[in-house]
Structure 1
């Protein structure tokens, strides 16, 4: 029996987001135990009271797990859970990662070297050209390009990356509900040279409140996010802020000051995003050779190394970490870095195989 099917049940329970599911997993240990837990046991979990536990019990009775599994297999969709070893490495490091990712195409270890390109749906011809060329150049260098399949900049980024490499499209709907519908052929091409993914159950419509969750995944899959064009208030700026909170890099393309589509990107540059005029501006911040070296070590499961080149910031944080688990907030109090900076440094130390992250946002030396 495929015990992974219990994960499909969890994400179909009403009112259970990633945070509550994480609390349940921390308490019960696995999805099957949650699914079979009594109301009394459920009530012992943080944020699960009497009313919510009653809803869980009631919803469980209505969900046919075997039917859901059969439906997924019938439409040719694969899925991966937080318990699986090949769950995307960078995405697993964000706060409250999605418990289940549905996908078509193939996820690859090389997707650890990913950059997201996002921007306005109502983009200019200039923005469309920049997104396409930039994605093509980065894909040619070995980066997987991540975007949201939306009209405008996202579509141009996917199209550009397909010329020379891989791309991942993240949906704000179920993976069987392509939006916008005119990108149906593009999705077919992406499945051949990358992956189309979604954190939503099959059949989920592209409601507006789904897109912030989609944006978290876009930035979470990526070492950095590049904003090509964005209005004063846009989902692309939300993605950029999420990237910062996740300890990832943020880049922005400068734009025509007379265009509304440039207000967001120019503001990002004013507040510290890295201005991009050529691909070298990105490679300077994220040198591909260094990341490829790290990936090579990760793929070999990173044998313990007592001598490894660390930046001064990495060395400072590494010196603070002990063999016994330490909470993120306590580490933050012991260093002179912002939360996003510390997140970024911890991620690099983890990729280099020097530390491991435990449940509850705790860290310890890898032994």
Structure 2
């Protein structure tokens, strides 16, 4: 634990962000090496001027190893650093991965495929249901769910994930300052099944300036970020932007255009985010999760694997014409109106009617009342 305390010391120095820490580590190998260095050596490192160099040297006299050790043990907090084998692999890939993460729980499964689910604190009944059920279904697949444990959609995502598997909560505060306070019991449950993590040392309160760093970790830990509901100025849109910067996928649940909570998600879709109408829309973008047949009566979600059905569909796909493939790929397990298909596919009404009939005869799609079409089970 002593070596970890050098990292804790380094992480507490004001003005020493992840990039500057990495520059120091490239030269001194580890945090203990920085501790043992002198001012001349430190100020020779790129980005470390005399002012910051002096602050680093001065901080040594203020850091109490024993006091920090006692505090970490008091709150049951563990520390993982950039050089540890259990440091999350995906997070290590981003440009400014945090040098230190404080956590409670278990990180042994954190490198399994993960998706983040985020959204507005001001939610609708629809958003709550989707966040909860989507998280549950994905964890049943073996996917970890990552979120920020904020009020609203984040909370429901964690709760749904706990019903099916593992979830990780990223905080914008120290672990001794759970926010919002009403989620203290939820934090304990998450720590039993997964972990709560933060880049902020003990004693750090949930100031607004902390949350961009929290959001970068949420997106950085995930193959993709799913935004369930978001107002125009929602913090979850920042998480989506960060996911794009990190080269990760961004998904959005479409919403009622009359609801404020749909403005952000609908705008994301307009800007190129992947529209999610069922879990297939997520799985097809993520190679690690391919081969799952998914359907649900209520929400278009069912994760029962059916290889025989998949094999049959793959064989039929090879026999389809180009027009048939275009129409088939546009459909999902959620029913689509004929007019919607006509407006989104470069076929005239007669051609579309013909192709739909051909696909229905093949047993690949089915027609519902009101001239609605969906993929067949």
- Secondary structure, in 3 states, of the residue corresponding to 1:104? strand
Secondary structure of 1:285 counterpart: coil
Give deviations 1:96-139, integer Å, cap 9, x for gaps: 10011111110123543100000000111111111001101111
Measured in 2, the distance between the counterparts of 1:81 and 1:133 equals 34
Where 1:175 maps in the other structure, the secondary structure is: coil
Count residues in correspondence: 292
Which residues in structure 2 correspond to 1:313-332 (within 5 Å)?
none
2:56, 2:2 → 1: CA distance?
A: 21
Bigger Rg, structure 1 or 2: 2
User: Distance between the aligned counterparts of 2:232 and 2:281, measured in 1?
Assistant: 24
Alignment partners' CA distance in 2, 1:153 and 1:290: 26
8 A Cα contact 2:243 2:249, kept in partner:
yes
SS in structure 2 opposite 1:80?
A: strand
Deviation string 1:173-197 (CA, Å, 9 cap, x unpaired) is 0011110000011111111111111
Query: 2:65 and 2:6 mapped to 1: Cα distance?
Result: 7
For 1:13 and 1:209, locate their aligned partners in 2 and report how far apart those are by CA, in whole Å.
16
In structure 2, the partner of 1:338 is none
Alignment of 1:75 with 2:75, yes or no, is: yes
Aligned ranges for residues 254-273 of structure 1 at < 5 Å?
Answer: 254-273=254-273
**CA pair 224-61 structure 1, distance change in 2 beyond 3 A:** same
Query: Which residue of structure 2 lines up, in the alignment, with residue 171 of structure 1?
Result: 171
SS of 1:115's partner is strand
Contact 2:4 2:79 in 1 (8 A): no
The answer to whether structure 1 residue 87 and structure 2 residue 98 are counterparts is no
For 2:325, the equivalent position in structure 1 comes to none
Counterpart of 1:112 in 2: which secondary structure? coil
Query: What are the within-5 Å matches in structure 2 for residues 219-258 of structure 1?
Result: 219-258=219-258
The answer for the alignment partner of 1:44 in structure 2 is: 44
Distance 1:174 1:291, change over 3 A: farther
1:188-203 equivalences in 2 (<5 Å): 188-203=188-203
Counterpart contact for 1:14–1:59, Cα < 8 Å:
no
Deviation of residue 236 (structure 1)?
Answer: 0.5
Q: Give CA-to-partner distance per residue, 1:58-84, whole Å, 9 cap, x none.
A: 122111123212211222111100010
- CA distance in structure 2 between the aligned counterparts of 1:196 and 1:111, rounded to whole angstroms: 15
Q: Which whole-Å deviations, capped at 9, do the CAs of 1:202-259 have from their partners, x for residues lacking one?
A: 1100000000000000000000000001111121111001001111110000011111
- The answer on whether the counterparts of 2:173 and 2:198 sit within 8 Å (CA) in structure 1 is yes
Distance 1:127 1:103, change over 3 A: same
Greater Cα shift, 54-63 or 157-166: 54-63
How many Å apart are 1:288 and its aligned residue?
Answer: 4.3
User: How far apart in 2 are the matches of 1:14 and 1:106?
Assistant: 29
Distance in 2, matches of 1:9 and 1:147, equals 27
In structure 2, runs of 5+ residues without a counterpart are 293-377
SS in 2 for 1:3: helix
3-state DSSP of counterpart to 2:164 = coil
Aligned counterparts of 1:82 and 1:18: Cα–Cα separation in 2: 10
Aligned match of 1:105: 105
Q: Is the 8 A contact 1:113 1:291 kept in 2?
A: no
Decide whether the 8 Å contact of 1:175 with 1:197 is kept in 2.
Answer: yes
- 1:209 is aligned to 2:206: no
Q: Residue 10 of structure 2 corresponds to which residue in structure 1?
A: 10
Structure 1 distance, partners of 2:7, 2:193, is: 27
Output the CA distance in 1 between the equivalents of 2:65 and 2:124: 46
C-alpha separation between the residues in 2 aligned to 1:45 and 1:262? 47
TM-score (norm 1): 0.77
* 2:103 is equivalent to residue 114 of structure 1: no
Rounded Cα–Cα distance in structure 1 between residues aligned with 2:98 and 2:254: 33
SS of the residue aligned with 1:200? coil
Match of 2:63 in 1: 63
- Alpha-carbon distance in structure 1 between the residues aligned to 2:51 and 2:77: 34
Report the alpha carbon displacement of residue 289 of structure 1 after superposing the two structures with TM: 4.6
After TM superposition, give the deviation of residue 2 of structure 1 in Å. Answer: 2.4
CA distance in 1, matches of 2:128, 2:167: 17
Query: Is the 8 Å Cα contact of residues 132 and 156 (structure 2) preserved in structure 1?
Result: yes
Which stretches in structure 1 are left out of the alignment for 5+ residues?
293-367
